[in-house]
Amino acid sequence: EIAVIVADGDIVPGKAETGLIGSTTFAEELRKARNNDRVMAIVLRINSPGGSALASDVMWREVVLASKEKPVIASMSD
């Protein structure tokens, strides 16, 4: 299986809401994919104009951890 995680909106700390990428929610979804033995790779689709630097760092940390265990491919746009 390949996990596809789609994030669309401004990056904010905490939980996701409509039109916002919540760093906590994003990290939880990425962690689930990383820990799932059936998932062989992770594809991230991030459509965001930007947002909180701290929230982005929380998301980046999970991407780095996941990439140590399985391939992570990211597609980014605004």
pLDDT digits (tens, 9 = 90+) for 30-69: 999 999 999 999 999 999 999 999 999 999 999 999 999 9
Indicate whether 8 pLDDT > 90. yes
The answer to whether the CB of 32 falls within 8 A of the CB of 18 is no
CA distances 12 to 3, 24, 28, 35, 55, Å, are 23, 9, 14, 24, 6
Here the tokens at position 50 are 């930007």
**pLDDT exceeds cutoff 80 at 77:** no
CA 16 – CA 65 distance, rounded (Å): 21
Band (pLDDT 50/70/90 cuts) for residue 21 is very high
- Examine the pLDDT at 78 and tell me if it is beyond 70: no
Taking the model in full, what pTM does it have? 0.91
Selection from 69, 75, 76, 78 nearest residue 33 by Cα: 69
